[in-house]
Amino acid sequence: MHLLWLRVAAILYATASVAVFPAVLYNKERWRSICVHLAGIGFFFHFVSVVEMLVQAHRWVPVGIRDAESLMGLVVAAIFFLVWWLYGAISLGIFALPITFFIIFVPSLGLEHYTFPSQGVRTSWLVAHIMALLAAYAALGFSLLASILYLVQERRLKSKLKATQSVWWAPLDWVPPLDTLERIAHGTLLFGFPCMTVGLVIGSVLVQETDLGAAYFLDPKVLASFAMWAVYVLLLFIRRTAGLRGRRAAYLSGAVFVVMLAVWAANMVSHVHRFGAQ
């Protein structure tokens, strides 16, 4: 029965993880209330699941890797609620709630290996996993391109030279205005984030049918991908809360792109995880 409560908690955590972004990034009071209530109910079911799991096993500490993951997720959620209760800082939820969901998602699938109904279903999930991650990387690439064009256009405007007076600047008349470039850079980031999140979740499901087990999450490609996701969240958070725009936002996008290249480099040395290699 504890598996049922854990699955309910995972669904509630996932919904709260979606609600926390408009609550924090756009300061929406209604979404803040939804996020706190959903996460609180999820924490309750999560607590019930952990207690029932330990009681049924007649022990006070987890033994298996999935039991430990479930307990770790409960601790992360508890720390978040403690900080929120003491300081009213829901901003940490933009990291804590998705992390909690990722931690308990695999244990909520069950104690045994997950098996897809058919090879066709598994292939469809694999294609969705690859396409979602590629869409996220492409979005980052477009964001970086828009940021670079922003820097070029800004320099062009500050030079106070007309296109007819400078051969170097003449071919750049087609570059959009600064405000348009800023919106493109930010919009592509917003598009890429859910793609990366979905890609990581699907990847976690796919690995359940393999014999890799916990070794999957020690693979450099997987660790780099989750690090990429964390940097992505940090980028969105900084851009919104600090009002980061223009040159600094362009430099920050460039730094994230470097992290993305590191993820691809990690894939070259990965022995247990490659696109399509199962």
Q: Residue 187, class by beta-carbon neighbours within 10 Å (0-12 exposed, 13-18 middle, 19+ buried)? A: middle
Provide the residue-wise pLDDT of the chain in tens; the chain has 278 residues. Answer: 788 999 999 999 999 999 998 888 778 889 999 999 999 999 999 999 999 888 887 777 766 777 788 888 899 999 999 999 888 888 888 888 988 998 888 788 775 556 677 788 788 888 998 898 888 888 888 888 888 888 777 777 776 555 445 545 555 566 778 788 888 887 888 888 888 888 888 887 777 666 555 555 566 667 777 777 887 787 777 777 656 666 676 677 677 767 766 666 666 655 555 544 44
Binning the chain into helix, strand and coil, the percentages to the nearest 5 are 80, 0, 20
Q: What are phi and psi of 277, to 5 degrees?
A: -95, 105
In this prediction, residue 5 carries a pLDDT of 92
**The two structure tokens encoding residue 134:** 């590629």
Query: Cα(227)–Cα(263) distance, rounded to whole angstroms?
Result: 9
The tens digit of pLDDT for each residue in 90-120 reads 888 888 898 899 888 878 877 555 667 778 8
Q: For 246-269, give one letter per residue: b (16+ CB within 10 A) or e.
A: eeebbebbeebbebbeebeebbee
Residues 186, 239 contacting (CB under 8 angstroms): yes
The tens digit of pLDDT for each residue in 52-103 reads 888 887 777 766 777 788 888 899 999 999 999 888 888 888 888 988 998 8
